[in-house]
Structure 1
Amino acid sequence: MKTVILAEKPSQAKAYAEAMQKSKKQDGYFEIQDPIFNGETMITWGFGHLVSPVSPEIYKDEWKAWCLGNLPMIPERFQYEVTADKKKQFNVVAKLLKSADQIVIGTDADREGENIA
């Protein structure tokens, strides 16, 4: 069984890893060994906004310039993007989560933490 623990930020993932019997830092995650988990276990993290909403002009050209007459700007379907500086970590998280048999949400239990999860 493969377990992936999703932390909110790198410092939180590090604290979780340090609480385990053994941990090894990898690129974008920690491999851990501890008797509380059976099989392969990893801890990875998000940070801030790995995924962001696209700019209004992506939906409609007339939304490029702010105008009171265009409000409210509510697209039929919201679109999101991963910015270049966050793409590497996004890909690490996505790959680990897709390969997991079990996912443990270890983000903060507040609005931001829940949104990251």
Structure 2
Amino acid sequence: MKPVILAEKPSQAKAYADAFSVRRHEGYLELLPSPIFSEGAYITWGIGHLVELKEPKEYDPKWAKWSLASLPILPERYEFQVAKDKTKQFAIVKKLIKATDTVINACDIDISL
């Protein structure tokens, strides 16, 4: 089973892949078998954040209009959704991850806020 390497962005994935022979696919790169990855591997990427918190109004209609009186906005449970402009890349990443038993996090090491 080929491992999946998840990079933060396309340019980062390309930089990793430059050390290998690759086949290009839409939304990911396929690393051909090598001494490091004997079966090959896949490198895919996010494009910024693939998922995001739901908007406050999606938790409770009273939070649809911002006001000081409604602060702080603290839902009982935070929920995520796929970012609207990133559904295609999210589907590619999801498909690759579901088909492997090894995911290598090669994203930036900083905390995204």
TM-score, L = length of structure 1: 0.89
1:12-91 alignment, distance < 5 Å? 12-20=12-20, 22-33=21-32, 34-91=34-91
Given residue 49 of structure 2, which amino acid in structure 1 is its aligned partner?
H
**Given that residues 49 and 83 in structure 2 are in contact (C-alpha distance below 8 angstroms), is that contact kept between their aligned partners in structure 1?**
no
Structure 1 moving runs of 4+ over 6 Å: none
Q: Deviations over 1:17-46 (max 9, x none)?
A: 1111x1111010000022201214100001
Percent sequence identity over aligned pairs: 48
Consecutive unaligned residues of structure 1, counting only runs of 5 or more, are none
Bigger share in helix: 1
Between the aligned partners of 1:93 and 1:54, the Cα distance in structure 2 is: 20
Consecutive unaligned residues of structure 2, counting only runs of 5 or more, are none
Q: Which residue of 2 aligns with 1:5?
A: 5
Between the aligned partners of 2:66 and 2:97, the Cα distance in structure 1 is: 38
Between the aligned partners of 1:101 and 1:68, the Cα distance in structure 2 is: 47
How many residue pairs get matched? 112
Between the aligned partners of 2:77 and 2:64, the Cα distance in structure 1 is: 17
